[in-house]
Amino acid sequence: MFASSTGNQLSQERSEWNNGAFTKALVEGMRGAAARPDLAAISISDLHGYVSRRVRELTGGKQSPVMAMPTTVEDYWIARRLN
pLDDT number for residue 83: 61
16: phi then psi, degrees, rounded to nearest 5: -70, -20
pLDDT number for residue 82: 67
pLDDT digits (tens, 9 = 90+) for 10-49: 899 999 999 999 999 999 999 889 999 888 899 999 999 9
> Among positive and negative, which fits the CA dihedral 20, 26, 31, 36?
positive
> Above 90 in pLDDT, residue 73?
no
pTM (2 decimals)? 0.88
Task: Find how far residue 49's CA is from the centre of its chain.
Answer: 7
